[in-house]
Amino acid sequence: MKKYAIWNNKGGTGKTSLSFQAICRYAEIHPLERVLVIDVCPQANLSELFLGGLIGNGSINLLTRHDINNRCTLGGYFQMRLPTPYQKPIFD
């Protein structure tokens, strides 16, 4: 069994993107093997990607699995409040 870990204390260095691309490529090259992904990031960005990403409602799918209404992170706040090409802004 092969094991890989990607770690860096600094945010914004591409850990999630690199992990996602490496995992997808490994699974593509080894279609008969099972791949276990453990996302230990508090923001759960890698889990969101695998559950659909921004366009596929990955965060909603992740939160639904845990019976949580909104992402309880700074990113979740901005996702709810700021307009994106994928959703309309929410105004109170």
Residue-wise pLDDT tens digits, 28-63:
999 999 999 888 887 778 888 877 776 766 666 666
Lookup result for tokens 């802004």: 89
φ and ψ at residue 79, rounded to 5 degrees: -65, -35
Strand partners, 87: 84
Our count of domains for the chain comes to: 1
The boundaries of the domain holding residue 42 are: 15-81
Q: How many whole angstroms separate alpha carbon 82 and alpha carbon 74?
A: 12
Instruction: Average the pLDDT over 14-37 and give the result.
Output: 92
Is 86 part of a structural domain of the chain? Answer: no
This prediction has a pTM of 0.59
In terms of DSSP H, where are the helices of the chain? 15-29, 45-50, 58-65, 74-81
Is 92 part of a structural domain of the chain? Answer: no
Chain CA centroid to CA 78, Å: 16
Is 65 part of a structural domain of the chain? Answer: yes
